[in-house]
A and B are shown apart, each in its own frame.
Chain A
């Protein structure tokens, strides 16, 4: 029976494609292997249901397709069967939801020892900021943005002066250190997206959003924008380099702080401008 066979082949073909697909997730680079595990659990459960439903359907088509003299059963409902199917589905759903919620709890619970890094999106480039020696990021406001202050840091904030500002450069992170990535945008929505990190979050003008992670292996990773942000969305790229401790500090030494980047007269000018408005 050709139709039944084709239906069955769709299910079998899908499973084979899944097994032999050369397209699979990138090697993970952070602690979020839990997310991959949850996806795997979900694949097992949904894969089983998919094959079971299609196989049953194909069998019905094979066994009960119209022949001369066949007559269908009359069978309006079967409370017991419907009840058991509902309960079974509920169990399957719980088996996916429970680990998902546990991992979500980890995802939204930032460890106390995470260091902060700021990523700022604008059409269509990335800027990064690290806290300086004081370990704190200074405040910022889009109204402070000027040619010599592209991240809009607050000149009056002492914490901002030693912040390391990286414009049009690559971000370096230290392997094994948990990091809370603070996300900010000055124009439209963006999304800081590194496939190997698994974690991602939108950047919303007017808000500071975040996620956290611990890089677990060194390497160079592509940063893409994952939230449509206008004409050059697809070209908004940067790189994140995860270093060993020594290389990381060597890199950090070369970076300029906000105070080094902004000459004194610029501070006066910015104050004048914001005062004028």
Chain B
């Protein structure tokens, strides 16, 4: 059964990875602002993403105020409500989650985990961040332009998105498209870096099958993003041309506000295909880094090797590949050719198999482990529950005919929030508690962390689990007010009010977390270099936080896979990846 060699006898490649000439900052500006160091760029990405994410969080409060207590808040009108949902969705999916997982965690962890000194193209990496920041600023500016941000829904479906019946039709939609185009340009610069770094800059001994799953997740997600974002890019450019130059890529002959418009001959469905060809892989672009990171959190804090490492790697790759042929399951009721339903339902449900394998392997890693219920572990457990819940409801929506009654209802809203909102955020939070000591040299406060976890996890579950049942009842999404509808009982309104109260509570509990981040920076307990006693390379740096160039004079050499926890016979319950086998024998000798 045990056929992954943990002795590390074989597999140190003869070819040495040449050490690289690093760019050395000469001033405060090039060290901390226009920095080419991946670790600084990572923090810049993370802070920017968190800042814009907080805007999206506030938008969600405003939405919940309106949904829970319709008619109470006169400062929210129907147009604004649509603008809130649009910006909330767009920011959370792209500007927060994608940027945070790839730009934030990717930049910080890839070079450290593969044993490189930095990304392969540090200058392009720096540009990537600044273009991303520009994209965020353009996006944020839409709140201040005449007409405000677009209210077309985050899917931006034409014709509606660029016609006058939709808020933000003037500047909002134009700047939204421009911002997306910038984001994709910025991401492409960063993404090429991550891929080349993983493939070319691994240190001696770091074979692909010794990579921590975090790197596998981020790497695969990046490859997917490089293939998927171009579809959104061209869709954005084409929609922009339709809006500005009067082309008709997506615009058929139609009536706008009672007048026959100038458009004709285009296809609204074409946009949907392009959008979802990007949009479905996007779900996994967010999910795969979360899968990878949570695998490492569970393994480290359960003091046990990840179960079925090779299957986990193949599952990541299989999910990544399959996710490119399932996109039209977002379009079952779009009016596309109905026979497509068979194909897309089948591919979609097949994805459940590698995904289920990952879940089994996470819980089987816990089996006979030595489970330390640290804050990162709690968040990992919270992730498993919310992800299993959200994944299983995906089997409803992916099964074409079941999707028909449920599509465009609150069931969909509940599903995707559970599976790609709450679950990845659980991982993000767990990962921050896990790696904060490496980034700052101090531990986050554990009492505040546990409070934060329980309020966030239980609260989020109370928000989104009952919401599915509103959708089963038939409550549609994207409604400013439900109004008079005989099928909606008054109890549904009470449930909406309950959800809103919990949502506000969970939202405010994040302030405890932000306080913890700031407080621990100065008052947190000193962590040392490897507080979790973890095996992966980032914990073995000579300095904490890691210095410029990550490693001292010599790059680390890797002798074993990333999961040598509780190896029988070893004195400690972990063996770092860079510990040579000889040293291990010595320890054994000392122990016996």
Residues of A within 8 A of B (CB): 3, 6-7, 10-11, 14, 17, 21-26, 32, 34-35, 38-39, 42, 45-46, 49-50, 53-54, 56-57, 60-61, 64-66, 70-79, 81-82, 85-86, 89-90, 93, 96-97, 100-101, 103-104, 107-108, 122-124, 141-143, 145, 183, 185-189, 191, 193, 195-196, 198-207, 209, 220-222, 224-235, 237
Q: How far is the CA of A11 from the CA of B308 in the complex (A)?
A: 26
Report yes or no: A195 in contact with B357, Cβ–Cβ below 8 A: no
- Chain B residue nearest in CB terms to A226: B408
Q: Are B366 and A57 in contact (CB under 8 A)?
A: yes
Q: Which of A23, A103, A200 counts the most B-chain CB atoms under 10 A from its CB?
A: A23
Bound-state Cα–Cα, A73 to B365, Å: 10
Residues from chain A with a CB closer than 8 A to the CB of B166 are 188, 230-231
Instruction: Tell yes or no: B446 within 8 A of A by CB.
Output: no
Question: Which of A145, A198, A224, A230 makes the CB contact (< 8 A) with B165?
Answer: A230
- Could you say which residues of chain A place their CB within 8 Å of the CB of B372? 65-66
B409 contact set on A, CB distance < 8 A: 226
In the complex, are the beta carbons of B381 and A193 less than 8 A apart? no
A-B contact count (CB 8 A): 336
Instruction: Check B304 against A231 for contact (C-beta < 8 Å).
Output: no
Q: How far is the CA of A53 from the CA of B470 in the complex (A)?
A: 25
B346 on the A face (CB < 8 A): yes
User: Smallest distance from the beta carbon of B80 to chain A beta carbons, Å?
Assistant: 10
Q: Assess whether A103 is in contact with B401, with CB atoms less than 8 Å apart.
A: yes
Q: Are B333 and A76 in contact (CB under 8 A)?
A: no
Given contacts A72-B565, A193-B476, A195-B405, contact A229 B160 (CB under 8 A): yes
Q: Which of B21-29, B224-232, B254-262 contacts A (4 or more CB under 8 A)?
A: B254-262
Best-surrounded residue of B305, B476, B567 (most CB of chain A within 10 A): B476
Q: How far is the CB of A13 from chain B (nearest CB, A)?
A: 9
B4 touches A77 (CB 8 A): yes
Query: Cβ of B33 < 8 Å from any Cβ of A?
Result: no
Please tell me which one of the listed residues B79, B307, B461, B472 contacts residue A76 in the complex, with CB atoms under 8 A apart.
B307
Q: Select B395's contact among A6, A11, A46, A203, beta carbons within 8 Å.
A: A46
Q: How many residues of B contact A (CB 8 A)?
A: 115
The closest CB in chain B to the CB of A190 belongs to B160
Contacts of A73 in B (CB 8 A): 304, 367-369, 566
A72 B573 Cβ-Cβ under 8 A:
yes
Known interface pairs A76-B3, A107-B401, A186-B255; 19 further A-B residue pairs with C-beta atoms within 8 A, sorted by A's residue number = A14-B389, A23-B473, A26-B474, A32-B405, A72-B369, A75-B1, A78-B1, A85-B360, A90-B353, A97-B349, A101-B346, A185-B254, A189-B160, A193-B476, A199-B405, A207-B269, A221-B487, A233-B479, A234-B481
Chain B 380-407 against A: per-residue CB contact (8 Å), 1 yes, 0 no? 0100110011001101100111101101
Q: Are B163 and A193 in contact (CB under 8 A)?
A: no
Inter-subunit contact B260/A222 (CB<8 Å): no
User: Is B369 touching A203 in the complex (CB atoms < 8 A)?
Assistant: no
Contacts known (A3-B373, A71-B566, A207-B335); A42 close to B408, Cβ less than 8 A? no
Report the bound CA distance from A74 to B569 in whole Å.
Answer: 11
| A123 neighbours in B (Cβ, 8 Å) | 165, 257
CB distance from B203 to the nearest CB of A (A): 23
Bitwise, B474-508 to A at CB < 8 A (1) or not (0) is 10101111111111010110010000000000000
User: Contact at B335–A209, with CB atoms within 8 Å?
Assistant: yes
